[in-house]
Structure 1
Amino acid sequence: MTLIMAGWLITSPDEIPREKYGVRVLGNTVVDVGPNQNLMKNYPDDVVVDAKEHIVLPGFVNAHTHLYGVLAHGIPVDNPPADFWEFLKDYWWPKIEDSLDKEMIAAATTWACIEMLQSGTTTFYDILEAPNSLPGGLLTERNIVKNSGLRGILSFEATERSGEKAALMGVEENIALHEISKSDELISGMMCLHTTFTCSKDFIHETHLKAKKVGLGLHVHCNEGQYEGIWCEDRYGLRPLEIYEDLGVTNSKFIASQCVHLSEEEKLIIQKNKVNVTHMPLANCEVGGGIAPIPELRDLGVVIGLGSDGYINDFYEVMRGAFFVHKARLQDPGVMQAEAVLEMATIGGAKALGLENVGKIQEGFSADLQIIDARFPTPITEENLIEQVVLWRSARHVSDVMIAGEWQVRDNQILGIDVEQARTTLHLQAKRLWEK
C-alpha cells in the first residue's frame, strides 16, 4: 500500500484541483483520495511518498502515435514535399515505412517509450506500418512495450497499397496480437486500416467484419489532407466518412484520426454515429495538412483524444499545440481552454480508445499517474493551476511516473530501460534507415 502526499492534486480536468490532497494506491488501483492529514491518520502503516512540493495528476493518454517515427527525426530531405500527398508518396512511404525492418522497429519502440515515460505518458495507441516487417513486426513491438511497463494498444496499419497479400497479412497481424494479449493487463490490440484511397470498399468492409468478430475496434486515418476528400468525391461521389457510413463501419468503436478537412455532413456523421476522433495538432502543422475543427466537434459532443503522431513525444508540447493553434485559426482567445486540452490528453483519450477506469485519479481507476515539479515562479491557485501546468510544464518537470500501481520513473530515472544503450542503438538503426 502506498500513500502519495501531494502539494496539489489534479484528479480530473473537470474537477477543482485540491491543495494538500493525496492518493492511496493498493495493488494496481486507486482506492482512496483525500486530504493528506486524513490519509495519514487512516493508513498509518502505508509506505509514504512525500510529494508536498509537487503536483500529482493523471498520466497522459497518447491516443495516436507511430513509434517508428522517431527514426525519421532529423532525416535529411533534399526537396521538401509540396503537399501532404507528395509527403506520403515521395517521402514517407518509400523512405520510411517501406524500409523498416524488425531491428529498426525494436530500437524505435524502445526510444519512443523512453520519451513518453519522460513526459508523463502512461497509455498510448500505436499504429505500425512496415510491410517488410511482416509477419511478426507488431509482436516485436509488443515485447519492447511489455518491458517498458507502459499501457499500450498496438496495431498494424493494413493497406492495399503494397498489394493484396500484404494487406491481408496486416489484418492477420492485428488478430494475432489480439489473441496473445487477451489476458494482458497492459497490452491490447486494435484493428487498423489506412485510408479510403489505399483500401478498397470491399477490403474495408471485410476487415470491419473480422474486427467485429474478434471484438476489436477499428481505426482509420481520415481526411488528414485535402487529397483524400477530393479523391473520394472524384471516384465515388462521396466524402470519406460518407463512404464509411455507407459501409456500416461508423459506430462507437470506430476511431477516425486526424479529421482535418471535414464537410459539414461529415461532422454530423461523426456526431450521429458516436465516432471517436483523435487530434494531432503539431504533426498536422508539420506536414502542412491543416488544422482540424476540434472546437466545433467538441461543441457537437464528440469524444476526442490527443496524439503526438510520432512527431514530438513530449506530451506537454502536444498540449500546448492544441491550446494555441485553434485560437489562431478561429481568431478567438476564448476557445480551447487549458481544461479542455488536459481533458483530451487524459480521460478524453481513454474514452476514445475504449478504455475503462483509465484517465482519472479516482477510486476504482487504474493507478496511472505522474508527479511534476510545483515550483512555479508565480503563485498557484485552484483557478490557475491547470493552465499553469498546460502552459509552463514540460518533460523536464516530470519526476515520477506510476502505471497500474508500479513505478516506472522514480526521481527522474526510468526504471528497467538503459537509456544510453537505447540512444546508441537508435542512432545506429536510424543511420541504417537513412542510408537505404
Structure 2
Amino acid sequence: MSEGGATTPGLVCSHHHLYSALARGMPAPPRTPGGFAEILELVWWRLDRALDLEMLEWSAKLGALEALESGCTAIVDHHESPNAIDGSLDVVAAACAEVGVRASCCYGVTDRHGADGARRGLAENERFLTSGGRGYVGIHAAFTCTDDTLAAAADVARRHDVGVHIHVAEGPPDADAAQRLAGLSDERWLLIHGVHLPTDHGLAGTIVHNPRSNMNNAVGYADPARFAVTNPIALGTDGIGADMLDEFRVAYVRLREHDVVASPDQPWEWLAHGWELMPEARHDVVRWSYPSADPWHLAYTPGVHPIDVAIDGEQVLSAGVATRVDPAEVRAKAAEQAQRLFVALDELD
C-alpha cells in the first residue's frame, strides 16, 4: 500500500439495499407521493417489482464498487425482487465477492404479494443459509406481514442460528411494530430505523440508524441515543450508497441539532459498531487521503476518500482504483441495465 494518510479498519454499512443502485434517473412515479406510504407504493415497491436477476447483478456490482471507493469493505444487505426471488441472494453475494467486498445477505419477506410470495421469500432465505451463505433472515416490515409470516421468519432464523434483519417503525404505518414483534426478537436481530419506536419498546437487537434516508423520506428523527441503554446502535444508509463517512457526518449534525453538547465521538461509536456485525472488517486496512482519523477531524472535513484498501491482505483498491474489476465496465454495464429497468418501470401497471 502507498505511504501517507491515516489508516482505519474497513468501514461497515450496517443496512443497505444494493438493488437500488440503478434507481438514479428512474422515471418519475405516476404521481407525486403524498407521504411515506406513497413513497413506498409509488417508488420503491414499483422498482423492486421491475427487477430481474441480470439487473440485480449489475446493480449489486455497482453498489459494491462504490462502497469500496468509499472505504466501506463490508455490507449488510437487505434485498427484495418479488418477480425474481429464487437465487437472488446468490446473485448479490457473488457480485460483491467479484468486487472484493464482504456481504451479509437476506431476502425481505412480505405478504404484499400474497401468501405464495411470502412462502417463496422464506424459502430463498432458507436456501441461501442452508447452502452456506452468510446473512440473516429478512423481513420487510411488520406492517406488510401477517403474524404467521413474522413468526415463521423468526423460526427460520432460530433454526439457522442467525438474526432477523427488519425495518421497524420507520414511518407511521409501522408504528405498532413493537407490539407486533413482542416476544420474537433476540440480540442478533437488526432493527432498522426505529423512528417511531417508543423508548421503552422492549425489543432485543441492534438498532440501525439511517439519518439521510429518514430525512429524505420525511419520517422524523429516530434520536437513536435514547436507545443506547437497552440496544447497541449502528449506522446504515438504507440504500443511499455506502459512503459511511458521509453518513457519520449527517448522523452527527442531526444529533447535534437535538443535543448541543453532543460530540462526534458518539456517532463514530455507532459507525464502529458495524465491526461487531462484520468482525472481519476490523482486519481490513483503509488508507485515507487525510492525515487524521480522529472523529473530530472527519466530522468537519469534506472530501476525505480512500487511497488504498486491503481486504484479507489483498489490495482491492490501489491509488483509488479497484483492482478486481474494471470500474468503467461496471459503470457501463450498470447504465445499460438501468435503461432496461426504466423501460420495465414504464410498462408496470
Taking structure 1 as the reference length, the TM-score comes to 0.75
Q: Distance in 2 between matches of 1:88 and 1:315?
A: 24
Give the Cα separation in 2 of the matches to 1:342 and 1:88. Answer: 30
Segments of 5+ residues of structure 2 without an aligned counterpart are 345-349
**Residues 1:243 and 2:243 are matched in the alignment:** no
Find the residue that maps to 2:238 and give its secondary structure: coil
Q: How many Å separate the matches in 2 of 1:50 and 1:194? A: 42
* Uncovered stretches (5+) of structure 1, i.e. residues with no partner: 1-48, 183-187, 230-238, 361-366
Residues 312-343 of structure 1 show CA distances to partners (whole Å, capped at 9, x for unaligned) of: 33222111110111222x1x3222x2222222
Q: Is the aligned partner of 1:415 residue 2:342?
A: no
User: Superposition pairs for residues 381-400 of structure 1, below 5 Å?
Assistant: 385-394=294-303, 397-400=305-308
For 1:230-270, what per-residue CA distance to the aligned partner results, in whole angstroms no more than 9, with x for missing partners?
A: xxxxxxxxx3112211xx2121112110101122331xx14
Aligned residue for 2:167? 221
Task: Tell me the amino acid that sits aligned with residue 412 of structure 1.
Answer: G
- Closer/same/farther in 2, CA of residues 399 and 263 from structure 1, 3 Å limit: same
Match of 2:219 in 1: 289
1:350–1:171 Cα change, 3 Å:
farther
Alignment deviations for residues 396-419 of structure 1 (CA, whole Å, 9 cap, x no partner): x21011222222111111011111
Following superposition of structure 1 onto structure 2, how do residues 111-122 of structure 1 map, counting pairs within 5 Å? 111-122=62-73
Asked if structure 1 preserves the Cα contact closer than 8 Å seen for 2:21 and 2:63, the reply is yes
2: CA distance, partners of 1:394 / 1:315: 13
The structure whose residues are more often strand, as a share, is 1
Identical counterparts, % of pairs? 25
Distance 1:359 1:333, change over 3 A: farther
Does 1:93 find its partner at 2:19? no
Tell me which residue corresponds to 2:14: 63
Tell me which amino acid in the other structure corresponds to 1:369. Answer: V
Instruction: Flag the 1:100–1:333 CA change in 2: closer, same or farther, 3 A.
Output: same
Q: Matches of 1:113 and 1:264 in 2, distance apart?
A: 34
Structure 2 partner of 1:302 = 231
Aligned twin of 1:349: 274
Structure 1 residue 119: Cα displacement: 0.6
* 8 Å CA contact retained: 2:2, 2:308: no
The structure whose Rg is larger is 1
Which SS does the other structure have where 2:32 is aligned? coil
Alignment-derived partner of residue 333 in structure 1: 260
- The partner residue of 1:166 within 102, 117, 131 is 117
Partner of 2:84: 133
Cα distance in structure 2, aligned partners of 1:175 and 1:122: 25
2:321–2:327: 8 Å Cα contact kept in structure 1? Answer: no
Q: Conserved in 1, the CA contact under 8 Å of 2:191 and 2:208?
A: yes
Question: Counterpart amino acid of 2:180?
Answer: I
**CA drift at 1:301:** 4.7
Q: Report the CA distance shift for 1:333/1:91 in structure 2 as closer, same or farther (over 3 A).
A: same
Q: Distance in 2 between matches of 1:264 and 1:320?
A: 24
Report if aligned partners of 1:190, 1:216 keep a CA contact under 8 Å in 2.
yes
2:92 is the alignment partner of 1:157: no
Pairing 1:192–2:122 present: no
**Deviation per residue, 1:145-200 (Å, 9 max, x gap):** 12122111011111111111121111111122222236xxxxx1210111121111
Instruction: State the 1:131 CA deviation.
Output: 0.8
SS in 2 for 1:82: coil
Distance in 1 (CA, whole Å) between partners of 2:339 and 2:242 is 21
Q: Distance in 1 between matches of 2:314 and 2:39?
A: 40
CA distance in 1 between counterparts of 2:230 and 2:112 reads: 34
Name the SS of the counterpart of 1:264 in structure 2.
coil
In the superposition, the TM-score normalised over structure 2's length comes to 0.93
C-alpha distance in 2 between matches for 1:163 and 1:204? 14
Paired residue type of 1:243 = R
Residue 387 and residue 213 in structure 1: after superposition, are their counterparts in 2 closer, same or farther (change >3 A)?
Answer: same
Find out whether 1:80 has 2:32 as its counterpart: yes
Query: Amino acid of the residue matched to residue 333 of structure 1?
Result: V
